[in-house]
Structure formats: C-alpha cells, structure tokens
Amino acid sequence: MEVEKVIETRGLRKTFRDFWRRPTVEAVKGLDFSVRQGEVFGMLGPNGSGKSTTLKMLLGLLHPTKGEIRVLGAAPSDTRVKARIGYLPEVSHLHPFLTPRETLMYYASLFGMAHGEAVRRTAELLSMVDLTQAADRAVGRFSKGMARRVGLAQALVNAPELLILDEPTSGLDPIGCREVKDLVCLLAKSGVTVLMTSHLLSDVEDVCDRVAILDRGALRAEGKIADLLRKPEAVRFLIEGLSSEAVAALRSEIEERAGCRVQLDYPAMSLESFFLQVVAQDGRLRTFEMAPFLRATQGTREGEGGACSKL
Amino acid sequence: MIRPPQNRAGARRMLQQVAAIAGTTLIEAIQQPVAFLILLSAVLTTLLVPVFQFHRFSEDGRLARDSGLSCMLVFGLVLAAGTAGRSVADEIARGTAAAAIGKPVSRVTFVVAKWLGVCGVVAIFWCGVLAATLLAERCSSHFLTLKEFVGSATDPWTLALSFLGVLSALIVAASRHFFWRRRFGVAAFAGVALSQVAVAAVSGFYNRFGELYPLHGEAACECGAEHAHAATELLLYHPELNLRVLPVALLVLFALAIFAALATALATRLQTGAALAVCAGVLILGLAGDALTAGAPLFSLRGLLSGVLPDIQNFWLCDAVAREGRVAWVYVAEAGAYAATCCAICLVAGCLSFRERDLG
C-alpha cells in the first residue's frame, strides 16, 4: 500500500539576495525529498548546508526561489495546514518578558484554542517538560536549556500531526537530550510524523527511521539508517563471557577456515548511557511521561519500532 | 491574496489571534523603560508649565494647554513610531515574528494586530497626557472674581496632587515588583497615566483654594464661567477643566494612529531608527503641507507630495479652542474618517511589503 507523503519537495531552490536583488548565497540547490506519514525523518549536514533554510521554506517563512513544496497536501503558506504543524526553531524565539505559562497561553491563542482547553494543555505541557516550578518566572531569565524546554512545549500545544524540530537537543543537558529523544519516540509511536535536523549524529541515529544528508544545499544521500550504514562484506559476532584462550582459539579457527583477517574489539557502554546510569543513582532521572492530551489526540502506530527501538 | 475567514469559527480564531498578538505587543512595549520615560517626560513637562509660566499668550491657561497638546503630538509620535518599529522590525530580527507566522497566523493578521497593539500603547499615553494637559490648564494662573477675592490665583492643590499621583504610581509599581514580583514597567506606565486621570476626576470636588464645593447650585457657581446653575440644583461634581480641549486632543490621537500605521508598515522592511526618521519627516512636511503645496500643478513633485502625504494640519487645531473657541464634533468625525483612510492605506502597503518578506 502506498504510504501517504506528508512532505514532498521537487526541485526546491533558495537563493538569498542583497538589497539590490543581486544573488548572494544559493542555500538550497534543487532539493527533492519526501517524508512519509508516521516516520521520524532526520536531516543531517554541516553548518550552512541548507537544513534550516529548507525547514523554513516548509513552514512558509522563506519563499522558495524555484521548485514546489507540498506539506500535508497543501502549500506551506496555507494557515489550515499550519494549524496541524508543530515547529521548534533552532533558537527558541520567545518573548523574554512572558512567563512559560503566558507563553504557552499565547501560542494556544494563536491556534484559536478555547481558554479552558488552553489552560489544561498549558498545565500538562509544563509538567511534561518539568517547568511547573518555574512556570511564573520570566523566560528572559531562563538558561538556554530551560528556554529550549519552553520552545518544545510550544511546539506541541496544538497536538500536531507533523512536528518539525530544528536542532531539538541544542542547549540541553544529557538528561534533557534523553527526554527529547524519548518524547520523539513516544510521539512517533502515537502516529505523529517528525522531521528533525541535528548536528549530533547520535541523536539522529537513535530516533530516526530515515535520514537525508545535505551538503552545500544539495542532497548527498537519503534512505533508511540501517541501509545506509550496513557493511554487507563485514559480519560481527557479539559473545559474552569468553576467556582469552577461547577468543584466541576462535580467532585462529575463523582466520584459517575463512582465509581472512579477524578484527577484535570489546564493546563499551556509551558515555551517554554511563552518565544517565550515574545520575539515576541519585534519583535525578525522572520517568518521562507524555502530556495526557497528546496521548488522547493521537492514534497509535502498531508494530513499528523503527530506530526508536534502540532506546 | 487576502482570504476572508471561511466561517464563524475561522473569524473567531482570527479575532483571538489579533487579541493575543496585540495584547503581547502592548505589554512588551510598555514594559520597555524607554516607553515609560517618554510618558513620564510628557506628563512632567506638561505639569511643570504652570510652575514656570512667564507668559499668558493673551489667555489664562493657554500656554499650559498648547504645551500639553504639543507634548502629546511630539512625544506621542516618538512613542508610536518607536514602538511600532521595535515591535515589528525587532521581532523580525529576533525571530519571534517567525515563531508567530509559523503558527496558523496570516501575515495580514500579524501586521494589523501589531498596529492595534501600538495603538493601545498610544491610547494609554494619550489618556495620561490629556489628563495632565487639563490639569495643567486648571493649575495655571487664572484671573478670578469670587466673593472675597479678586486677582490671579494658581491651583497649588491640584498641582501637588498631580505630582503626588506620579509619585504614588511609581511607589505602587515598585512595591508590586518587590513584594509580588509583578512587572514594574507595565504597572508604572499604566499607573502614571491612570494617576493623572484619577486626579482630573478628583479635582472636580474642590475649588482652586482647596475648599470642597458645596452641594447646591448657587454657592457652587463660584466654580467659574461655564457653570451657571440654577440656585436649587444639586451639584456633586464640578469639572473645572477645559473640556473643549477634548476634541482637539482626539484629533491628535488620530494623527498618532496614522503615524503608528506608517511606522508599522515601514518597519516590515526598515529598522526602527529609519522608520522614526521617515515619520518625523512626514510630520514636518504634513504640518507644512499648505505652504508647500498651495497652487502646485497636479503633475509635479509638489502636487505629488500633496496627494501622497497625509495633511497633518487637519489634526492640529490647537488654536481653534483659544478664546472660548470650539471644534465641532462633525469635524472630528470627518477627520476620523480621513485618518481611518490614511491608516488603511499604510496598513495595506505594510501587508504587501510583509507578504514578500523572508523571515529567516
């Protein structure tokens, strides 16, 4: 069965111009890609590769120089489409004098939400991002990580069908990063389509089903992570509890029979896992729970784990 | 293309968006120290005129009235253009505009809501400076003939109350900030404006010698020229303020609304300083409109200027209330319609400019 494409771009180009309309930078050069319903799609690339520019064009914030964009079946400038999208910008653009509670109420008003519903969702989101205690302090005095949490909460206030996250873990501590990744996985499991960019390759690897790699505005690679990273000519055995004699014997046996060189390594825990294990001992690691209204408004994606099954 | 909302729910959502953006703009603008300083400067300058009054301009209270209205126009222009510039140009630069447009908010809604928010700031400023102008005129030296008094008298009680009002507003705002962590800027800005309105209201209960007015008409007629009451008439309140200033001040408010619209439109492309400079230029050319464009052929630079520039002289009728003069309310309504047209033209230009703007 053909899976519905939530985002589709064809021949997308963006050239920035100066005051006299002279071209200065060609940020995106003929980009073709699509994001399917219910998947977590990662966009990777070095600085200046055109990731954020592409996201802004998908949201109608930047006008493409050429090419076609369809988001949820319509043009990105259509406000009915925007009502179904959640967007977290690279820098959480927040009004510094508003408190997190006022910020979320403000964004809820932009979606035309009834006051009672907005109050309920605001409380649930503040609890989800662990900002209930700081709900009535001005955002302008927040650390980057706390502002990021407010930014994440505002992106979810409308229970979006499509969530666009630009560097979602930027500025967060390892606990915050882990919670964002947990959230992305929970949302993906409940049927939300997620498009995210990140410089942190491990973040993308942990949560994304498919990735696109951009460089200098052009698409260099696209596909499922497992397919892109697979080395068909190599095989890895993972065996626990072997003595050094048994390892040596096994190695020489395989080298003799297969006639090829065997490389040995001892898998270690990632630093992130070790850190989380340490802080969990102090009881600082809370169980991350999605806001109840998000659980209630989304469906469930049965039988799919995707990259999230690694977490 | 500007599409009207499809149904009642769409219209309700649009109104909610306008209220949210305008409200946030209003709070953000009056939170800025510069907005508070502009209001404080305008109010204090107006209130100080009766203290340092060395000329009557052939009419009691005229200097105070003219100075108050001038402060209203000039400080109001700086506030309107500065606020519009900051709230649009700075939001575009800071990214909060992109965050709002990333939601289901059309660019037209955004521009109109921004203008309404700026108009809200200007309206609070206008209330404060209008009340201060009325109070300053009352406090100026007036020649009086009362029962046991003939001569010139100032109104030190009202003047003291006005300054006390400003001081109280600042103390209340500081206390709210200290004890309840409420925003100082918002409370101080609204408080200073409200304090002047409150003093203007209270001043109707006593005469310029600080004596409370008697309740019945004959004695109450001491209050002055415009209060010829029947002897038995019950009078609780004596508005000893020159309310003929009200239509003139309303015309200034219309002019400020035009400058707010112009600055909002300009700020979609220009920085705050540039928008402010253009508004100042339009004020000067608009006030000199007749002299510049009288008898100019239609197809000439001067003719073009007269067609394009709003005629600010229509809104500056300070002299019309001199020597018991009045401005007809019909004229105010016509000027209001002219101002609404100018605002609409500026906002349409602003929306068209913002529509094509990349929000990076």
Q: Say yes or no: B24 contacts chain A, CB-CB below 8 A.
A: yes
Cα separation, A140 vs A156, whole angstroms: 21
Percent of chain A with pLDDT over 90: 50
List, in order of start, the domains of chain A with CATH numbers.
Answer: 5-84+160-232+268-310 (3.40.50.300)
DSSP state of A176: H
pLDDT of residue A237: 82
pLDDT at B247: 96
B304 at interface of A, judged by CB pairs closer than 8 A: no
Q: Is the pLDDT of residue A285 over 80?
A: no
Residue B19 touches partner A, C-beta closer than 8 Å? yes
Mean pLDDT to the nearest integer, A275-302: 72
Please tell me the predicted confidence (pLDDT) of residue A308.
67
Choose between B268 and A293: higher pLDDT. Answer: B268
Average pLDDT, stretch A220-241? 83
Instruction: Inform me whether the pLDDT recorded for B232 exceeds 60.
Output: no
Touching check for B106 and chain A: CB below 8 Å?
A: yes
Residues of A in contact with B27 (CB under 8 A): 97-98
Long-range contacts of A10-14 (CB under 8 A, 24+ apart): A10/A67, A10/A68, A11/A66, A11/A67, A11/A68, A12/A54, A12/A57, A12/A64, A12/A66, A12/A67, A12/A68, A12/A69, A13/A64, A13/A65, A13/A66, A13/A67, A14/A50, A14/A53, A14/A54, A14/A57, A14/A62, A14/A64, A14/A65, A14/A217
| pLDDT, average across residues B177-202 | 93
Q: What is the pLDDT of residue B236?
A: 64
The residue among A144, A196, A190 whose CA lies nearest residue A170 is A144
Residue count (chain B): 360
Helix-, strand-, coil-residue percentages of chain B, each rounded to 5: 70, 5, 25
Query: Shortest CB distance from A93 goes to which of B27, B99, B105?
Result: B99
Q: Which of A13, A65, A79 to mutate to test the interface with B (most CBs of B within 10 A)?
A: A79
Per-residue pLDDT at B225 = 47
The predicted-structure confidence for B149-185, as pLDDT tens digits, reads as follows: 666 778 888 999 999 999 999 999 999 999 988 889 9
- Decide: A94 and B96 in contact? Cβ < 8 Å: yes
pLDDT at B4 (0 to 100): 56
Q: Considering chain B, what percentage of its residues have pLDDT values greater than 70?
A: 89
- Check residue A284 and give its pLDDT: 66
pTM of the complete model = 0.87
Q: Work out the minimum CA distance from A117 to partner chain B, whole angstroms.
A: 14
* Class of residue A174 by CB neighbours under 10 A (exposed 0-12, middle 13-18, buried 19+): middle
pLDDT, one tens digit per residue, over A106-115 is: 999 999 999 9
What is the pLDDT averaged over residues A250-278?
82
Closest approach of chain B CAs to the CA of A52, in angstroms?
A: 9
Determine the pLDDT at residue A303: 45
- Say which of A61, A79, A97 has its CB closest to residue B106: A79
Lowest mean pLDDT among A148-152, A253-257, A275-279, B277-281: A275-279
